[in-house]
Structure 1
Amino acid sequence: MVEDMSDEGPGFADLALRPELLKALSDLGYEEPTPIQREAIPPLLEGRDLLGQAATGTGKTAAFALPVLQRLQEGSGETPSALVLVPTRELAVQVSEAMHRYGRDLGARVLPIYGGQPIGRQLRALERGVDIVVATPGRALDHIGRGTLPLKGIAMVVLDEADEMLDMGFAEDIEAILQDVPEERQTVLFSATMPPRIDGIARRHLREPVRIRIEREAPAAGEAPLVRQSAYVVSRAHKPAALGRVLDVEAPTAAIVFCRTREEVDQLTETMNGRGYRAEALHGGMGQEQRDRVMGRLRAGTADLLVATDVAARGLDIEQLTHVINYDVPSAPEAYVHRIGRVGRAGREGVAITLAEPREHRMLKTIERVTRSRITIEKVPTVADLRARRLELTRAALEESIMEDGDLDRFRVVVETLCDEFDLMDIALAAVKLAHESTGAAADEEEIPDVAPRPERADRGRREGPGRDDRRPRRQTGGMTRIFVGAGRSAGVRPQDIVGAITGETGVSGRDIGAIEIADRFSLVEIPEGAAQEVISALRRTTLKGRKPTVRFDRDEVPRRR
């Protein structure tokens, strides 16, 4: 039985958000708030300062973005009313895009400002007027020093990933910015950890803050299911291919693939059906009759893959279910525990697999610690692994046919006739080849590149020294060179697409990437010389906006490298 949707917990509509925000969330497919959103949004809407501890991927962005947007007034002034500080350019772009999506119907003007982007573009946008600025501390301080980022209208300041900003040496910049913003403001601080330095900032700059920490309960002793737990670290661009590769190797009887939003469920279902899987979507946007039909097909065996959101999958009891797959790392350990609890019941063994992007590796460690279980990091199956597995399945099918099918004598005349001309082993090999190919199991030709998890903060090293330059994230040693990427504006390529492709497929971080120039049909990207060949090779293997671009050294750079 599918659980009655009327029994669900509080939704976004219960949080007193503006109708425009509720519509945007519904259009994006968000069905219910995460724990941090349920706890943080009400006090923020009341104007309280807040100190929140939450790991990456728990929904922090919406937890502060929705209250920020709620406070926007019609016909906002020319100066920003909110300032969001984040540690990296990638996060600045990510938060800015999220706020654009949530505040589309409000006409919210959101501007990301960060190093590595031409400052002229930022200056022109600030002159035209913005409502919300999402900035890295260094670039924010540069604009404040120039007088181009006025702070007189700032009513709300958000520090996101505060512990990471401190680890990267931005403590003095943050203090300087907080000293300059109006004293009568609302201040919000989110951090994955709460070291003494964070507590010190909170004591100095937050007024009687609401303190939120999402408590996580480990499963009781003896309740852990018999589940083999593993994870694959893979870039977002290769996730659909990696999912297909893992499904082919695992060959589940029936599997649930969990996604975060309805939109992602629909897109992934279409993608997997296009790859030859019998996939069905299940989410809160479907009526009860439609949901029942989906479950009927799954139980009847006419579908073997269910792609669902957490809300829609509540109350499901599928006896033949063998695999649970997290297409993204769950936003909280509790969600992970609930998901994997759907397999391994009644003494049966089950399999839980998670596809994690490099930035989500830390959340996997948090889940391991809270659940007290081991999640093995495995390599994505190679083309050779896939071919070997498919041959195993062909062998098993032939073995079953030999053991159980008593009607083989009618084919004996074919074999005996062929034996007059060919060797018996050659005949058997040809028959196996035909049986194997008849399954339509042609292995993928392209390897999925290995992606290393991003290191834990403890491994990143601390930057010491009193000088301002010592407090900045350092580029890789050596000079910079420029590469040519044969895709530009006409293909819809944006700087964040290029940054994401490089950081997701190589060991180069976003802070190591220099200027990015995007023309109509190509782009030029500055990268460290020492990593140039790695980046070129990686970009040649990946796709940008659905196509493989030409990637090479920029012609102006080649003579310098000889």
Structure 2
Amino acid sequence: MTMGESGDATGFADLELRPELLQALTGLGYEEPTPIQREAIPPLLDGHDLLGQAATGTGKTAAFALPVLQRVTAPGVGEAPAALVLVPTRELAIQVSEAFHRYGREMGARVLPVYGGAPIGRQLQSLKRGVDVVVATPGRALDLIGRGALRLDELKTVVLDEADEMLDMGFAEDIEAILQETPEERQTVLFSATVPPRIDGIARRHLRGPVRIEMGRPETEPGEQPLVRQRAYIVDRSHKAAALGRLLDVEAPAAAIVFCRTRDQVDELTEMLNGRGYRAEALHGGMSQDQRDRVMGRLRSGTAELLIATDVAARGIDIDHLTHVVNYHVPSAPESYVHRIGRVGRAGREGVALTLAEPREHRMLKAIERVTKQRIVVEKIPTVADLRARRLELTRAALRESLLTDDLDSYRVVVETLADEFDVMEVALAAVKLAYEAGGGAQADEQEIPEVVRRPQREPGKGRPERGERGRPGPAPEGMTRVFLGLGRRSGVRPQDLVGAIAGESSLRGRDIGAIEIADRFSLVEVPEASAEEVIASLRRTTIKGKKAIVRRERQPR
């Protein structure tokens, strides 16, 4: 069953929600449902399963939260939950739980977020007292099920939110195990920003005749610019840091996330950008949860304006005033690009997605264009002249704002005194010069960033092989190292086995892992240099295909 862009209902009251939910929505200032809410809520209220492809910012949380709460027949009574919502990260668990609480407070709904990294004792106590809705990360949910604390026998609805993210983080087996513990007649809801074959596979196995909804960003009127302007810049690796600084200076974002591959890059860029005068914060897997919370607090309050982060660390982050997303590298998977840029261009505001691509990564941009069906315009890095022009424009805008809003009378005596000796235009020019320099406009160390000369395309079959499909590799990419495992094809080892083992036993996730080579008797896996020892120690403690493996750094040829 497929739902189109219809929807005769224009208000929440038309969706036949219970009075307590309508009262809560009115109190929150919600006047009418978003398109995805109009499409999803009626079939969910009727008990249908649903597969929704929806970008962040379309209102999908309320699209499943309101029907879930409607189906809680006796809120505040009983112990076993009526609904389970699975999400990929702690941050998203908290965010979704807070939304459920806001919508369900008038009806007395009990909502509990459960996730790793938090004291399990409190979660056990809350479950014992009884809850109506549990919002959980898969690992902690499976742990609580194993302890007998999370009972799913009375479950009416299961929601898989950000399902593609959960699969990318190695939760596929956990999700399957959890779903096996739920009643067969449950309602199953799956939301995902992208629907690759793995998501289709889950839908076929666990959803029954689902309603399918595909909902992207709001359409723009003919002739209007899209809500997310996507641009790429081809730049050599040695000039990428300078290019990033130049782009941020020209763009002057109110708030931006810069995505990097490794922790070391995050730390290096954060230091560089702070030295350039930005208020930048680092976010990566080497930080404690308290550190992460402090960083996010500074970003949301406006104390910081740039977040430099790895993909894993930034999952589940939602910042309303975000204006720019910067890919310091081209994401290896188009789905990752979709998730990243989904954080901007929301609620009718325009966002900007910038990508710094090395010459060899140009083909990856084309792959992203094919998947997203959107053009990524390749532009030249702004020149020093462009930068100076932009800074002058910012100075002009700041002066105009001061002329319109500030009380300037206390400065009049300075101008009048100087006007006795100089022309008023000359006084104004000197004032503009000082304002321009005070705003960082005159930096003598600015250098032109060389334009990349495009190299001829490689012959078919001569490009960089994909994961698990290449010959003997050359040197590992910058910031990466290779780990040797003494198991290969003869032991039945597949790339997904290695990714799952590393993601399950270390702090890394699937997207942190680079290329994989599997030979007959051994395998080589690229991992971030900073995490190599952790990965080696983790793999030595576990088994792959039921076997212990020799694990060490790859020995480089002399």
Structure 1-normalised TM-score? 0.48
Higher relative contact order (CA 8 A, sep 6+): 1
Structure 2-normalised TM-score? 0.48
